[in-house]
Amino acid sequence: MKFKLLFLLLFSNYLLAQNNFPTPYEKGKGNQTTTYAEMVKYYADLAKNFKTISVQNFGTDDNGEPIKVVIFENANSKDAPVILINNGIHPGEPDGIDATMMLMRDLATGTISAKNLKIVAIEAYNISGMLRRGSFSRANQNGPEEYGFRGNARNYDLNRDFVKNDTKNSEAFQQIFQFFKPIYFIDNHVSNGADYQYLFTYISTNKERLGDKLGHYFNEKMQPEILKNIAKKGILTTPYVNIHGDSPDEGFPAFMDSPRYATGYTTLFNTLGTVAETHMLKPYTERVRATYEYILSSINYTQKHAKEIQEKMAENAANFLPGKKYPIQWKIDSTKFRLIDFKGFEAGKKASGVSGKPRLFYDRTKPFTRKVKFYNEYQATKEIQIPNYYVIPKSENKVIEYLKRNNIQMKELAQDSTLSVEFYRIADYKTVKNPYEGHYLHFDTQTKSEFKNQNFRKGDVLVSTRQPGVKYLLETLEPAATDSFFNWNFFDGILGQKEYFSDYVFEDTAAELLKKDSALRTAFELEKIANPELAKDGNKQLEWIYKHSPYYENSVGLYPIFRIL
């Protein structure tokens, strides 16, 4: 009798969901995605009809529209651990938008459950991109009929903006993330690249960047279990095929999600994360179903193991303490890989119908399963020692603003103070030749450390590294880190001189300096011996003396964030 009642209850909930709250996607023919207006109205209707559903605004898109967050919580989940879902960061990839609408409906009606979790979803992160609706911007994608555009109102790719924060969207995301503090984060996408049999690919948070034990737990236990459950429903999965313009037959590397990306950012706060990447050439109905099932499987696993995940996160956080080493640059370890049974299609070359030249094609009549190398080990190429404190002059107001938005705790100096600090000089760096997401990004940055007693002013800020956001501090404030504030041009002002000299005036001054300063004179003569180009060029000699004299600006290349070890 109890079983019959339970069955009737579940069946009635299912009918309620399908009959009373079908999503715009479900009302269509399987190849249409919701519009922005339909999506907003749908969630508002859910919130009116179910106490477990609410909608909140957090910040805005660059076009001024409020970014809406839909929340499922029941009586048992008011203070429960949170799963955060991000949809529509690239609105041309709308699978997650439609899947999450069905998921929230099914949670509300009781068709599926999340007993001890709070499920939070960003309805559509890139609203302005979603409103720019068309049918042609995703030239390689199989449906839906219409969809949004990758760039936002200011043409930024929002999945490169999680550190530099050029957009209102990324400011809103950080507010959302810091407010809910999720233990698990899912960012929904559609892939580009090679053709293969898999419907669903994924990027797991890089285990080395996440932290040894937590990274191992997520990559070796949690993620495989989630994937095993969706495999039971006939959904083929493989790690994201990180290769473009070639066949994956020879193997492929794991994607390195540095902090500019969504999961790279969330990793900085010990949150586990997955980028869900359905395959662009599969039918839209299958892609939406795969996204739905992955989120559902993630919920099912997390509600069973939430306490274990939280314990692992706490253990991991304790590893990033002052005095310990922290990696800030990585490269793939080409000597380590695991063999996976890769289900692909035979690739070959044929004459292009456009140019007549050889072009790549995949023969879907020739599927294969063969061993392929998956390079999923990264090794650190540069480490720093975690300091006890960073000292930031109040003049660096933009940096301080960013830290505060990311819940970084700090205190102001109560009075003018002299502190013994370590500081960096920028010794070398490279810069991309073309603009990248609104910046001329630096890379391969090299620094030299120096120590001195530095005068600080009242109101300058002292930031302890003994706090949950320590990895955010290290990845942004260490100039040699891949996505540091320095590399994103926050400090380009320190790289140029503000004063110079006129040759005809400084000639006499330089001669006098050499006459009076024997140490300078000796260093100059040795430099000419070591550098024949200098010895032949009078202008370069004058410049060398200027740069080694009291007249040269000591502040050139001086990085204005200080460390206390």
Same domain flag for 306 and 388 = no
From CA 255, how far away is CA 216, in angstroms rounded? 16
Written in H, E and C, the secondary structure of 80-92 is: CCEEEEECCCCCC
Residues 362-370 have a mean pLDDT of 95
Same domain flag for 421 and 285 = no
pTM for the whole thing? 0.93
What are the structure tokens assigned to 293, written together?
A: 């099932």
Residue 407 banded pLDDT, cuts 50, 70, 90: very high
Identify the pLDDT of residue 498.
Answer: 92
Tell me, what DSSP letter sits at residue 364? E
The pLDDT tens digits for 22-65 are: 999 999 999 999 999 999 999 999 999 999 999 999 999 999 99
The proportion of the chain whose per-residue pLDDT surpasses 70, expressed as a percent, equals 96
- Whether 312 contacts 213, CB under 8 Å: yes
52 found inside a domain: yes
The pLDDT tens digits for 313-357 are: 999 999 999 999 999 999 999 999 999 999 999 999 999 999 999
Same domain flag for 353 and 470 = no
Count of CB atoms situated within 10 Å of the CB of 395: 12
303 found inside a domain: yes
- Whether 203 contacts 239, CB under 8 Å: yes
Same domain flag for 396 and 309 = no
From CA 162, how far away is CA 272, in angstroms rounded? 16
Residue 19 banded pLDDT, cuts 50, 70, 90: low
Q: Is the pLDDT of residue 9 over 90?
A: no
Tell me the Cα Rg of the chain: 28
Same domain flag for 411 and 369 = no
Same domain flag for 147 and 212 = yes
How far the first Cα of the chain sits from its last, in Å, is 69
Residue 77 banded pLDDT, cuts 50, 70, 90: confident
Written in H, E and C, the secondary structure of 3-50 is: HHHHHHHHHHHHHHHHHHCCCHHHHCCCCCCCCHHHHHHHHHHHHHHC
Q: Which domain holds residue 561?
A: 384-565
Q: What integer best gives the mean pLDDT of the chain?
A: 95
Identify the pLDDT of residue 4.
Answer: 45
The pLDDT tens digits for 372-396 are: 999 999 999 999 999 999 999 999 9
- Whether 211 contacts 270, CB under 8 Å: yes
Count of CB atoms situated within 10 Å of the CB of 253: 20
Same domain flag for 413 and 372 = no
Task: Determine whether 35 is exposed, middle or buried from the number of CB atoms within 10 Å of its CB (0-12, 13-18, 19+).
Answer: middle
323 found inside a domain: no
Using CA atoms in the order 417, 558, 265, 130, what is the torsion angle rounded to 10 degrees?
120
Residue finishing a domain among 379, 401, 429: 379
Pairing of strands 442-456, 417-431: antiparallel
Same domain flag for 151 and 271 = yes
Same domain flag for 342 and 441 = no
- Whether 343 contacts 369, CB under 8 Å: yes
From CA 559, how far away is CA 549, in angstroms rounded? 20
326 found inside a domain: no
What are the structure tokens assigned to 444, written together?
A: 């391969």
Written in H, E and C, the secondary structure of 168-190 is: HHHHHHHHHHHHHCCCEEEEEEE
The pLDDT tens digits for 107-147 are: 999 999 998 999 999 999 999 999 999 999 999 999 999 99
| Residue 407 backbone class (left: φ over 0; alpha: ψ -120 to 50; beta: rest) | left
The pLDDT tens digits for 448-494 are: 999 999 999 999 999 999 999 999 999 999 999 999 999 999 999 99
324 found inside a domain: no
From CA 544, how far away is CA 8, in angstroms rounded? 87
- Whether 337 contacts 377, CB under 8 Å: yes
The pLDDT tens digits for 186-235 are: 999 999 889 999 999 999 999 999 998 999 999 999 999 999 999 999 99
Same domain flag for 285 and 361 = no
Residues 527-553 have a mean pLDDT of 94
Q: Is the pLDDT of residue 3 over 70?
A: no
Given the structure tokens 């911007």, which residue do they identify? Answer: 137
Written in H, E and C, the secondary structure of 217-231 is: HHHHHHHHHHHHHHH
Q: Residue 283, SS3?
A: coil
Residue finishing a domain among 379, 410, 429: 379
Pairing of strands 184-190, 200-204: unpaired
Tell me, what DSSP letter sits at residue 508? H
Question: φ and ψ at 539, to 5 degrees?
Answer: -65, -40
Q: Is the pLDDT of residue 402 over 60?
A: yes
Same domain flag for 126 and 76 = yes
Identify the pLDDT of residue 554.
Answer: 87
What's the domain count of the chain? 3
513 found inside a domain: yes
Residue finishing a domain among 329, 354, 379: 379
The pLDDT tens digits for 141-193 are: 999 999 999 999 999 999 999 999 999 999 999 999 999 999 999 999 999 88
392 found inside a domain: yes
Identify the pLDDT of residue 260.
Answer: 98
Question: φ and ψ at 203, to 5 degrees?
Answer: -115, 110
Tell me, what DSSP letter sits at residue 557? T
Pairing of strands 272-278, 53-60: unpaired
Tell me, what DSSP letter sits at residue 134? B
Tell me which residue of 524, 392, 525, 368 sits closest to 462, measured CA to CA: 392
Same domain flag for 361 and 431 = no
54 found inside a domain: yes
